[in-house]
Copies of this chain bind each other. A is one copy, B any other.
């Protein structure tokens, strides 16, 4: 059976949009979810990497299950809770005896995830250009505010949009719809930037102009749709903006 042709991606059929604003995914894109690995390795020697990966995978799985089941909003729970539940499951799965104090310490890391090295410079450039640069994230407003403040990004990112207001996680359309609604721009005039391949594809499906920052050298998703642009660091945002903002 041959792979059915999906045709060229939309950006090859229509002229490139003039980008009026940038929205960043938070976890994995601005902030490194794997920066919890150091503490995880201290608490559970030899298991830090496995716990970090399993925790992240389970966290994402739970966002999808609660959103796609029974209409989505009914089973929604805040991302902080999803993240904690995923951590508990992962510790049990790996046979790690995590007491309440250890769970709290790991969860607390989510308030101070390390930003990727190049972010500050790029966000400052966007501010100097007066380009609107915000966040559209699965995270709750409180945890986003904490991690943004910890990184010193509070003056550089606005608006900070959380899916909590619609009780559906990405890649649900209601989550992506927050961007155009808040910015007053059509999705294709917003550059949506994510390091999560699935997020970049979901946003492309929704209609954004997208940049997948492929930090880990992962293969492109086999979903019949490609992100509009692919890069490998936040520096790749700037060349996609109009020369005069």
Contacts and interface: CB of A to CB of B under 8 A. Distances in A.
Nearest to A64: B64
Given A62-B223, A80-B1, A222-B86, A75 B172 contact: no
A224 B76 CA distance: 11
Interface in A1-49: 1, 3-4
A205 B73 CA distance: 13
B172 A69 contact: yes
Q: Kindly report how many copies of this chain are found in the complex they form together.
A: 2
A65 B201 contact: yes
B69 A219 contact: no
A121 interface: no
Interface stretch (A88-96, A148-156, A178-186, A229-237): A88-96
A218 interface: yes
The 10 A-B pairs at the shortest CB distance, nearest first, are namely: A85-B222, A92-B219, A68-B68, A69-B171, A89-B222, A64-B64, A70-B173, A69-B202, A69-B205, A70-B205
A89 B173 contact: no
Nearest to A91: B219
A77 interface: yes
A61 interface: yes
A61 to B, nearest CB: 7
User: Which of A68, A75, A222 gathers most chain B CB within 10 Å?
Assistant: A68
Given A65-B202, A69-B202, A85-B223, 10 more contacts: A4-B81, A65-B171, A65-B198, A67-B68, A69-B205, A69-B206, A71-B173, A74-B205, A75-B205, A93-B219
Contacts of A69: 171-173, 202, 205-206
A56 interface: no
A66 B222 contact: no
A62 B197 CA distance: 12
Interface in A72-117: 72, 74-75, 77, 80-81, 84-86, 88-89, 92-93
